[in-house]
A and B are shown apart, each in its own frame.
Chain A
Amino acid sequence: MTRGQYLDLLEKNLSPLPRERVREIISDIFTHFDEGEEAGLSEAEIASALGAPEDVAREYLSMYISENGRRESATEEEREPRESRRPARFWPAEEEYDESWSFPLGEFGRLALELKAINLELHGHVAREVRAEFHGWRAPDHQGEYPAITFRTVENGLTVREEYPARSFGVNVLDSIIGGFPRLRGTLTVYVPTPISALVSEMSSGRQSIDGLSVESARVECASGSIEIDGIRCANAFTSSTNSGSQKLRDIEAGESAIRSTSGSIRLETMKAQSLTIEARSGSVQARGLTIENDADLSTNSGSLKVQSLACAEAKMNTSSGSLNAKDIATVTGLEIATTSGGLHADGVTARTLSTRSTSGSTHISEATAETVTARSASGSIRATLLRVADVHMTGASGSVELTLPHQSEFRYDLESSSGRIVIGFDGADKTKSRSAHGAIGEGTHHIAIGTASGSIQVKPG
């Protein structure tokens, strides 16, 4: 194991601890590696002598829990005689909690939010101060300590945190072991002076919604909570990412943009951006109404990908096992679409070069306008209708290929199939051939080349 891997695993296993402590521990072990290397050991040797990072983390965790227990029992014994001691109330009563605050943020402020289980609403407004309101409930831990939302000014900006008093740590650990019972829940509504220079919002399980914000850059992150954005203007970078939470994004104007998700789904509607990257693993992606100055790169792994109305310089779309649907796509240069086992539909595509790739999924291209069309499929079939004759290069293995071109099309053709049938539906060509067909229709300079193994080939007017 390398130093990086070791520290990553250690950090992950220490996650129930307060951040400050984790940082301290990581720094100690990091230094241990430095010192060990100076003594002539390799990273792998030092790592194995340290023992499994999970075990080391457990040691730290159990130390904190027992430490806390020690303090608790000491104070409780001081307070009450042994006999009358009530059993500890594990789930304490809830309490309504309303509060509002306001703070100056400064001309080009920065707003950083770090919240756990509460929902967050961010609204843009015109005043030069941050106004915040919280409504919800909170519950004390068994020592009577209440969690709180704290505001802190840092470097020309404002940081908002949901914080527990340090002493309630033991409860936090138990909480996260038992199932993350949050002790502060509700909605924090923040009115953000707009424009501000940067927005950084990190949440674990709460839902966050943003509307009407104007910022220079924005980074919005959520682990299991969802993200909803309705109207944000970013002069520079915009990133939005979730782990299992879903994302619903509308009306976004930004520079370089990235939207990421692990298992959560992504829905994007109406966006103007310099560039766009969408990356999802098992979540599905739906995007419509996008105008992207440069490249658009959209990919999912097992989720489906649906894109409608996209204009950009160059686009790539990719899924592995999910299906892929692209409708009304216009690119200046290239459009590349690829799937592995999912089906591929491209409808109404305009591009200089259009290329599709699929392994077992079928490929369906309709109403396409391009100078060059390349389609490749292994076992899936290919069906393509072009509005204008183009240089076409299609290869299939066991799947069949069916190409429809406008009636007046003129072109040269080279069609080859090992065992499939070849049919050419244009006047002036031999209608049916086996194995190979070469020739020309009219005076055309465009070249149609199609090759398959066992799949049949059909070229027809439509």
Chain B
Amino acid sequence: MNAQFKKGVLELCVLTILSRKDCYGFELVSRISRSIAMSDGTVYPLLKRLREDDLLTTYLVESTEGPPRKYYTLTERGAERQRQLLAEWHAFNQGVRQVIEGDETT
């Protein structure tokens, strides 16, 4: 699939996963790369940008083994953005489907 296209939906995927539950980096990244073929490394720059745009924040949780884990969680703005993107996605998806399936009434 086209890389630019993937990048566009990546933000929606990250926000959606986090809207269900807080995740640590590896968990989040491998969840995404399992469904969309893309390298794990491209997700981290996005996480950084989302954090800078105040759509998500992080907090540390002590782990029984090893160093504390950094969890990512949505901010209120992030949750709002997720709802907005999801709505846009549904509308877009529906539009695309109409075009492909040819049931436009013109």
Q: Which residues of A contact B (CB under 8 A)?
A: 24-25, 28-29, 31-32, 34-36, 38-39, 46, 49-53, 55-56, 59-60, 63, 67
Q: Distance in Å from the Cβ of A35 to the closest Cβ of chain B?
A: 3
A351 to B52 Cα, complex, angstroms: 66
CB of B94 within 8 Å of the partner chain:
no
CB of B104 within 8 Å of the partner chain:
no
Q: Distance in Å from the Cβ of A447 to the closest Cβ of chain B?
A: 64
Q: Are B67 and A31 in contact (CB-based, < 8 A)?
A: yes
Q: Distance in Å from the Cβ of A13 to the closest Cβ of chain B?
A: 12
Across-interface contacts of A59 in B (CB, < 8 A): 41-42, 45
Q: Are A50 and B41 in contact (CB-based, < 8 A)?
A: yes
Q: Are B41 and A38 in contact (CB-based, < 8 A)?
A: no
Stretch at the interface among B23-31, B75-83, B95-103: B23-31
CB of B6 within 8 Å of the partner chain:
no
A28 to B25 Cα, complex, angstroms: 8
SS class, residues of chain A in contact with chain B: helix
Whether A35 touches B24, Cβ cut-off 8 Å, given contacts A50-B40, A51-B40, is: yes
Q: Distance in Å from the Cβ of A275 to the closest Cβ of chain B?
A: 39
Q: Are B45 and A60 in contact (CB-based, < 8 A)?
A: yes
Q: Which residues of B contact A (CB under 8 A)?
A: 24-27, 29-30, 33, 39-42, 44-45, 47-49, 52, 65-67, 69-70
SS class, residues of chain B in contact with chain A: helix
Q: Which residue in A51, A55, A63 is a CB contact (below 8 Å) of B48? A: A63
Across-interface contacts of B52 in A (CB, < 8 A): 67
Q: Are B44 and A56 in contact (CB-based, < 8 A)?
A: yes
Q: Are A31 and B44 in contact (CB-based, < 8 A)?
A: no
Since A38-B26, A63-B49 are in contact, a sample of 10 more A-B pairs with Cβ atoms closer than 8 Å, ordered by chain A residue number, is: A28-B44, A28-B48, A28-B70, A31-B26, A32-B25, A32-B40, A36-B30, A51-B40, A52-B39, A56-B45
Q: Are A25 and B65 in contact (CB-based, < 8 A)?
A: no
Across-interface contacts of B70 in A (CB, < 8 A): 28, 31
User: Which A-B residue pairs are the 9 nearest by beta carbons?
Assistant: A51-B39, A35-B26, A56-B41, A50-B41, A51-B41, A59-B45, A50-B40, A49-B40, A60-B45
Across-interface contacts of A29 in B (CB, < 8 A): 41, 44
Provide a sorted-by-A list of 11 A–B residue pairs whose CB atoms are within 8 angstroms. Answer: A24-B48, A28-B25, A32-B40, A34-B67, A35-B69, A38-B65, A39-B26, A39-B30, A55-B39, A56-B39, A67-B49
Across-interface contacts of B27 in A (CB, < 8 A): 35
Q: Are B25 and A50 in contact (CB-based, < 8 A)?
A: no
Across-interface contacts of A53 in B (CB, < 8 A): 41
Q: Are B48 and A49 in contact (CB-based, < 8 A)?
A: no
A67 to B29 Cα, complex, angstroms: 23
Q: Are B33 and A60 in contact (CB-based, < 8 A)?
A: no
A36 to B27 Cα, complex, angstroms: 8
A63 to B69 Cα, complex, angstroms: 25
Across-interface contacts of B49 in A (CB, < 8 A): 63, 67
* Nearest chain A residue, comparing its CB with the CB of B53: A67
Across-interface contacts of A46 in B (CB, < 8 A): 40
A31 to B42 Cα, complex, angstroms: 15
Q: Distance in Å from the Cβ of B64 to the closest Cβ of chain A?
A: 11
Whether A49 touches B42, Cβ cut-off 8 Å, given contacts A31-B67, A32-B26, A35-B26, is: no
A38 to B68 Cα, complex, angstroms: 13
Across-interface contacts of A36 in B (CB, < 8 A): 26, 30
* Nearest chain B residue, comparing its CB with the CB of A35: B26
A52 to B41 Cα, complex, angstroms: 8
Across-interface contacts of A31 in B (CB, < 8 A): 25-26, 67, 69-70
A60 to B44 Cα, complex, angstroms: 9
Across-interface contacts of B44 in A (CB, < 8 A): 25, 28-29, 32, 56
Q: Are B39 and A49 in contact (CB-based, < 8 A)?
A: yes
Q: Distance in Å from the Cβ of B58 to the closest Cβ of chain A?
A: 10
Q: Distance in Å from the Cβ of B44 to the closest Cβ of chain A?
A: 6
Across-interface contacts of B66 in A (CB, < 8 A): 34, 38
Across-interface contacts of B33 in A (CB, < 8 A): 49
A119 to B71 Cα, complex, angstroms: 45
Q: Are A25 and B48 in contact (CB-based, < 8 A)?
A: yes
* Nearest chain B residue, comparing its CB with the CB of A27: B70
Across-interface contacts of A52 in B (CB, < 8 A): 39, 41
A52 to B24 Cα, complex, angstroms: 22
A32 to B48 Cα, complex, angstroms: 14
Across-interface contacts of B41 in A (CB, < 8 A): 29, 50-53, 55-56, 59
